[in-house]
Structure 1
Amino acid sequence: MPNTTSDVPMIEARDVKKRFGHNEVLRGVSLSVARGEVVAIIGPSGSGKSTFLRCLNHLETIDSGQVAIEGELLASTDAAGHCRYPQDAEVRRICAKTGMVFQHFNLFPHLTVLQNLIAAPMVVQGVARDAAIARAEALLAKVGLAQKRDNYPARLSGGQKQRVAIARALCMQPDIMLFDEPTSALDPELTGEVLRTMRELAEERMTMLVVTHEMGFAREVAQRVAFMDQGELITARPAAEFFADPGHERARAFLQHML
């Protein structure tokens, strides 16, 4: 059973390694995220940020290391160096603790906004249709899109699609939200509305791990900033400390380029 005490990390990754063929994408990444904490992961393209995020909810399997979600092992490595996952049903149960928002929305184009939100709660969780609709409508109001419930995704702006995607992930009532560069596909003027929604979640103490290139968001909203480069987590510091002095030359050079 999960350990629900508040001092148990919501995410605990230890020495996570992942390769695609001969390309070692993650080279022993370790990171712990506390309950209610917002951690921003930044770094250059190709540094392994998105792959690391995908390893935390089984969209990618790891080659070695350990991943625990709220104290429950999703992946572990035995004494012989073999990576082990639980049975599929157990993996699905553990991964249900996390919701994920992708760079490119991934909405179903043939479903309305409301239908996009209620599909997974009804099919995966067995939520009654009326209850799923009530949950969805409350979340659409939360992200400022109540009036778009009957629209199809093609009728929405990029920022609106991403806010729908956030609401859809929240519809599954996760304990942790993972964001994979949620604003990188948006025009600059649409980025603000998505970041406002994420700020509100942070204010409500939602545990969030955010891969982002938005330095303003990382500085203002995240409690900690983790910097990755070439498959390694180089440094992780409180946000104010990181932006005052990243503490590592590679991180310092990255910041000078971004700011």
Structure 2
Amino acid sequence: MPSSTSEGGAVPMIEALGVKKRFGSHEVLRGISLSVARGEVVALIGPSGSGKSTFLRCLNHLETIDGGSVSIAGEPMARTDESGRCVYVPDPQLRRICARTGMVFQHFNLFPHLTVLQNLIEAPMVVQGLPRDAAIARADELLAKVGLTQKRDNYPARLSGGQKQRVAIARALAMQPDVMLFDEPTSALDPELTGEVLRTMRELADGRMTMLVVTHEMGFAREVAHTVAFMDQGELIAARPAREFFADPGNARAQAFLNHML
């Protein structure tokens, strides 16, 4: 099964081996193996319904896997035992491992009754026990990073879609994760708003944030990703360095997808 590999034998930030997931009789993931190195940006592409978002949700326990194993930063989160049963680590350990990943969704998922600032400080205070002053200082730094300092006291209803998504990115970063997972972060945006979100993601990549990005933005995948992984019908078909992938993905199904998208 194709996978990207960590440089120099270092422990991968994400390591999925043979991950399987079923919904009823439908096998959505058919043994996905993918490794993401520290500081690597992997673009996960493929047709709608190929299992990309489900795979992402399996990496932070929003979905449970039915087979295979998942490790984050070398810590096993789930594995399949000798009887073929998938076993997760105990809940306290699971919560700690999952806290190492931040996730940004298609539809922002901001708390509508909280201001931008309150959206950013809630989890660090409640989950991490960060004092309010420290949480506010961290939030202000992140709002400056995503260019939204002036929207600090606004409610989400007063923001554009692009601004909401940048707030969502800042909120995920407020938990200081080691890995950022993006589930088609620009798919719900008007084209003119997509660029501002992609610029923020480029800056994260420049800062060596480990990122796994489900995307239909081929320009982002070509220009920012180190590795492009192509999924179709619940399988990882090809994973190659971005430059090589766009020159020749090495697979007819992947090439047909590129021909359609480019």
1:175 match: 178
Uncovered stretches (5+) of structure 2, i.e. residues with no partner: 1-7
CA shift, 1:6, in A, is: 7.8
Counterpart pick for 1:95 among 93, 98, 115: 98
- Contact kept, 8 Å, 1:6 with 1:35, in 2: the verdict is no
Q: Quote the sequence identity (%).
A: 83
Partner residue, 1:56: 59
Match of 1:135 among 138, 142, 152: 138
Match of 1:187 among 187, 190, 211: 190
SS class of match (2:56): helix
Query: Is 1:219 aligned to 2:218, yes or no?
Result: no
- Give the CA deviation at 1:86: 1.0
Pair 1:247-2:256 in alignment: no
SS at match of 1:31: strand
What RMSD over aligned residues (CA atoms) do the two structures have, in Å? Answer: 0.9
AA of the residue aligned to 1:16: V
Q: Residue 49 of structure 2 aligns with which residue?
A: 46
Match of residue 70 from structure 1: 73
Q: Which amino acid aligns with 1:125?
A: Q
CA distance in 2 between partners of 1:24 and 1:84 (Å): 19
Q: Distance in 1 between matches of 2:151 and 2:43?
A: 30
* TM-score normalised by structure 2 residue count: 0.97
Q: List per-residue Cα deviations over 1:101-128 (Å, max 9, x = no partner).
A: 0000000000000000000000000000
Paired letter, 2:58: C
Supply the distance in 2 between the matched residues of 1:23 and 1:106 (Cα, whole angstroms): 28
In the alignment, residue 62 of structure 1 is paired with which amino acid?
Answer: I
> Where do 1:1-40 residues align within 5 Å?
7-40=10-43
1:206 and 2:200 are equivalent in the alignment:
no
Per-residue CA distance 1:134-179 (angstroms, 9 max, x = gap): 0000000000000000000000000000000000000000000000
Gaps of 5+ in 1: none
Among 246, 258, 261, the alignment partner of 1:258 is 261
Which runs of structure 1 show a deviation greater than 2 angstroms over 4 or more consecutive aligned residues? none
* Amino acid paired to 1:84: V
Report the TM-score, using the length of structure 1 for normalisation.
Answer: 0.98
Q: Which amino acid aligns with 2:177?
A: P
Per-residue CA shift, 1:51-104, capped at 9, x if unaligned? 000000000000010000000000000011000001111110000100000000
Task: Tell me, in whole angstroms, the C-alpha distance in 2 between the residues paired with 1:133 and 1:185.
Answer: 29
